[in-house]
């Protein structure tokens, strides 16, 4: 059991993958809430745990309530309505997230997940308060938004936009290009707006749009996530002057990066390295040569 826990800790906290971290957080939050809630339901006709989490952690569309629950645009994207809800969300997130981190590194996953979730929240609240089919009813009675689907959709559509012809082999279907999977998801969500899960489908479209726009901006040289990260980095007051013009200062990996990669190889083997990490190790070996 200790070995399993150590592996989980390494995957979440020391592997460098934000994908593993986010999946771990979603699973831990789900279990931390639903295991006690299930036990409570066996002994009490009123499930206080579920009622409290629904009231304070899910995203309401009713604006007066949302103002008093201003944190819910963040918390709702780590909540799930059932076992199959979290299972399929995390499976799609894992499949597409691996490809996303393989080609773009692991520094953008968390940022795009959060931005996709916030875009989904914005679409949900805006849609239910402006679209006549919803705004003409009693918005306070509409069910709140729950789930990581909008955040996951941002990763899915971003990956498909970056690599439209990348092929996945699906069970019972066979090889399918990412662009067709993405198109299927978007069309399905749009058609589902008139169904029972209208709020969820609207939020999915918000996350999908965020993923698409982010990659298009990235391809144009504008990395929103990197720009946001720079705002929170402390500015150094020291100036470093290079006096050796024969040796370029840019492009050489830092020793901390090399140490981390070598440590990862010793624990998980060379095949566990991402494409970006292999490239760093290659540049380091060339420099030593």
Per-residue pLDDT of the chain (289 residues; tens, 9 = 90+): 567 666 777 677 767 789 999 999 999 999 999 999 999 999 988 899 999 999 999 999 999 999 999 999 999 999 999 999 999 999 999 999 999 999 998 889 999 999 999 999 999 999 999 999 888 888 888 899 999 999 999 999 999 999 999 998 888 888 999 999 999 999 999 999 988 899 999 999 999 999 999 999 998 888 888 777 665 566 555 555 544 444 444 456 677 777 777 777 766 666 677 777 777 777 766 665 4
Strand ranges inside the chain, DSSP E: 167-170, 174-177
Using an 8 Å Cβ cutoff, are 207 and 151 in contact? yes
SS3 168: strand
DSSP alpha helices (H): ranges in 131-249? Answer: 132-135, 149-162, 178-191, 198-219, 224-231
d(CA 54, CA 77): 13
Q: Where are the domains of the chain?
A: 2-231, 255-288
Q: Let me know: does 21 contact 78? Beta carbons within 8 Å.
A: no
How many CB atoms neighbour CB 188 within 10 A? Answer: 11
Q: How far apart are CA 35 and CA 28, in angstroms?
A: 10
Domain 2-231 adopts which CATH fold? Rhomboid-like fold (1.20.1540)
Residue 201: Cβ-neighbour burial (10 angstroms; 0-12, 13-18, 19+): buried
* CA–CA gap between residue 165 and residue 168 (Å, rounded): 10
Identify the H or E element spanning 55: helix 48-57
Q: Is 222 left (phi over 0), alpha (psi -120 to 50) or beta?
A: beta
Pairwise CA distance, residues 56 & 224, whole Å: 30
């Amino acid at each position: 059991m200790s070995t399993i826990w150590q592996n989980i800790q390494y995957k979440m906290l020391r592997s460098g993958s934000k994908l593993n971290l986010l999946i771990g957080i979603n699973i831990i939050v789900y279990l931390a809430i639903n295991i006690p809630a299930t036990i409570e339901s066996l002994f009490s006709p009123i499930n206080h745990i579920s009622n409290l989490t629904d009231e304070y952690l899910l995203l309401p569309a009713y604006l007066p309530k949302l103002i008093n629950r201003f944190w819910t645009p963040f918390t709702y994207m780590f909540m799930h309505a059932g076992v199959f809800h979290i299972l399929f969300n995390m499976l799609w997130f894992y499949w597409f997230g691996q490809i996303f981190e393989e080609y773009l590194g692991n520094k953008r996953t968390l940022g795009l997940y959060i931005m996709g979730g916030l875009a989904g929240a914005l679409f949900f609240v805006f849609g239910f308060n402006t679209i006549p089919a919803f705004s003409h009813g009693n918005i306070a009675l509409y069910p709140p938004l729950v789930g990581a689907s909008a955040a996951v959709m941002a990763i899915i559509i971003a990956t498909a936009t970056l690599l439209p012809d990348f092929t996945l082999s699906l069970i019972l279907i066979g090889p399918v290009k990412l662009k067709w999977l993405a198109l299927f998801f978007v069309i399905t969500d749009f058609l589902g707006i008139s169904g029972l899960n209208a709020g969820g489908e609207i939020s999915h479209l918000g996350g999908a749009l965020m993923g698409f726009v982010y990659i298009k901006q990235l391809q144009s040289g504008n990395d929103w996530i990197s720009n946001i990260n720079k705002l929170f980095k402390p500015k150094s007051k020291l100036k470093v002057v290079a006096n050796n013009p024969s040796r370029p200062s840019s492009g050489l990996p830092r020793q901390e990066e090399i140490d981390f990669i070598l440590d990862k190889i010793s624990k998980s083997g060379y095949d566990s390295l991402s494409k970006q990490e292999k490239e760093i190790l290659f540049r380091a070996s060339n420099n030593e040569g």
